Chain A
Amino acid sequence: MKPEENIRRLVGRSDVATGSEVDRRILVGALEDLEKLRQTKLAGGRPNVWRTIMRSRITKLAAAAVIIIAVLIGMYQFGGSIDGASVVWGQVAERVGRIPVVVYRRTVIQPQGGLGSAIDRQVVYLSSEYGIRKDEYHGGGLSCRDEVSIDTSDHKIRVHKFDFGERPGSAARVEIKDSTQSPKQGIEIDEYFKLWLEKQSAERGKRGKNSEDWLKSSWYIFPAENIWFIVRHPLSPKHRGYCFCKLLADEKIPQWYEGMDAREWIKQALSLDYKELGRDNIDGIEVEGVEIRGRNLGIPPLPRRNDEMVVRFWVDIETDLPVRYEAVVFSEPLGDWAIVADQFQWHEEVDPSIFEPNLPGDYFLASVTVPKDGQKVTIKEGAELLDGLRLFAELTDGRYPSSMPVAIVEGCKAFTKKHGGQTEELSEKRLEIVETLASSALFHGKLVNSPKYVAGKPVGKDNDVAYYGDRVRAEDADSVLMRWKIFDNEYRVVFGDLTAKNVSAKDLAKLESLPLE
């Protein structure tokens, strides 16, 4: 054995253990200094009451009310409509543009073929200083739709969609396509899937009856660092994760991002010919509205289309601040669709932690998209792959699936062999195994089946995926179990002991040439 390999093995197996007392001792000075830093920031920065009050929904509303009153007072000082007589339209865009923070609810209603309409609810936080956060909620009202894709590639089991109906816990309609499994196996998977759906319903129930409590995902954009950041909260805990995307230095921020800035909508809408709609009352607020109608208006948040479009918005006559914004597109091929923005809050300042991603400890990093050599490349981290492989090895005393597409089938067999017959408790456990292995197989399947794209163009036939589960076991700590290409000359490698790292193509060749122990 060469000394380098010897040392590598020794290094890889070296370990330390620390208890809570040691951890406390090592970190104590740093944490004390950090607390001082926090106190200094609070003392010299924003009032810390924000941090407290913005945690709860009720206090958020109360805080919003206080802010609106404060802004209202400010508006008088800025010379708004003191007598509340009418909106000064010429000043609205300028006034809105001066306010650094806006929070609003955004509802997108769009046709879904023959399935009725889908409602997509979002709450958008926009700050000139900190960026944008968009929380997406499961739509309520008409229908709650979701998508799931359990794809075991070679066996062609693909479940595309299901529909939960109007309320949580109501009957689910399931569509299973492309199943070429033998009938017995197909039925087996189907039953697991039904059980899984029941679990999902129960999870929905736990999240509360109000559909707006079901947060689907949160998007964060850091304009200063050119980063997007998405935290996903699907119902199944197995799939909760987050991903990053760093834009290229000269890459333009996508249109949907620009479309989030409600201040910009108002500015652009008022630059066109508008018709005054007169006075109205929205949720107890006296408002005046305007309407813009035509084709190819190019007003955000809708893309520039040739379809006929109507935009209406209403402004509080006392503050000259928008209260509600509606944009409706009448599209022949797509069907009519609309965006409504309401529940506006116009703030002078905001708690910066709102724009800070909250990463629960059990969420995994799903993918990172970063610029490299002038191009943008996505690296799939593979946490879900490792979860499935780890579980399989536990079930089989250190073996891995002989191939990833058969991971579920082999895993279920191993489970039955290890634990025996069917009980309710075992079915539940078995369901978890199917879920975990399916995620793992799906990750592998996506790598195998998707061509690698750089800057939107395919640059190779595939991700150069290789899997050696038929001969590598958990005890083969330094042997390559799986690898895939992440850059032209760089690979992600998962070893027999399920550690993972990135290596050059040259190092990979060396690693793959190592004989098994």
Chain B
Amino acid sequence: MEDKLLVLRCKRGDGDALRRIYEKYKRDLLILAVALLKDVSAAEDVVHDVFVSFVQGLGKFRLTGSLKGYLATCVANRARNASKAKRHQSVSLEEVQPVSSGLNNPHQSVVCNEELRQLSLATAELPYEQREVIMLHLQCGLSLKAIANLQGISVNTVKSRYRYGLDKLRAFFDEAEK
């Protein structure tokens, strides 16, 4: 309900309301984008584009479910497009920097902690579709049914992707433990 009011205030052009939405969900959205794209600059761009698009669509926007779910869905959609565009480029996991790295300054760029780096390394092993299902479900709390709607596929397919993804991650963690 608070989100409904924040959206209402945004519709009236209230910048503070938009900042509050951003502060409330930036962590989830950035983690999702980083884990999907394995690139902090691209993740920042995606979240930026999502907020611009959100404001541009405010006139017709009506919040029917969770705002976090809606924004996470937008991030996933844009990340998927960005990922397709980058498909032919090689991906460097070094782009995902840990907090402890001396290179990083949160004033200059988004800084990820060691766990997020590990998460990105682990999910990088997965096909994009499986990564998306796992992150939307575990990070953003979207139900498998909601993800199915988002991806335009059946719930059973989503469940399969989730299960296959977890199996691959098991192999990754087993290997890492050795």
A residues with a Cβ closer than 8 A to B are 2-4, 6-8, 10-11, 13-23, 25-31, 33-35, 37-39, 41-42, 225, 227, 229, 244, 246, 352-353, 356-357, 359, 361, 365, 368, 370, 501
Contact = CB atoms under 8 A, between A and B. Distances in A.
A19 B108 contact: yes
A6 B173 CA distance: 9
- Tell me if B's interface is mostly helix, strand, loop or mixed: helix
Contact of B10 (A2, A34, A359): A34
Contact of B15 (A31, A227, A357): A31
**For this complex, into which size category does the number of interface residues on chain B fall?**
35 or more
A11 B19 contact: no
Interface in B11-70: 11-15, 18-20, 22, 26-27, 30-31, 34-35, 44, 47-48, 51-52, 54-56, 58-59
B30 A34 contact: no
A30 B119 CA distance: 29
16 contacts: A3-B169, A11-B139, A14-B31, A14-B112, A14-B116, A17-B113, A18-B106, A22-B108, A26-B47, A29-B48, A29-B51, A30-B52, A33-B56, A34-B14, A37-B59, A229-B1
A18 B1 contact: no
Given A16-B34, A31-B15, A41-B12, 7 more contacts: A3-B170, A7-B169, A15-B31, A22-B107, A22-B109, A353-B12, A356-B12
A8 B138 contact: yes
A10 B105 CA distance: 23
B167 A3 contact: yes
A21 B44 CA distance: 12
B26 A23 contact: yes
Interface in B84-116: 99, 105-113, 115-116
Contact of B55 (A7, A37, A39, A365): A37
Given A7-B166, A22-B106, A246-B1, A15 B55 contact: no
Nearest to A1: B173
A18 B30 contact: yes
A30 B109 CA distance: 19
A514 B92 CA distance: 36
A356 B166 contact: no
Contacts of A370: 1
B82 to A, nearest CB: 15
B134 interface: yes
B124 interface: no
B141 interface: yes
A368 B5 CA distance: 13
Nearest to A14: B116
**Interface core residue of A22, A23, A38, A501 (most chain B CB under 10 Å):** A22
Given A38-B13, A353-B12, A359-B5, A10 B119 contact: yes
Contacts of B30: 16, 18
Contacts of B156: none
Nearest to A357: B5
B63 to A, nearest CB: 10
A313 to B, nearest CB: 35
Contacts of A246: 1
Interface string B116-151: 101100100000000000110011010000000000
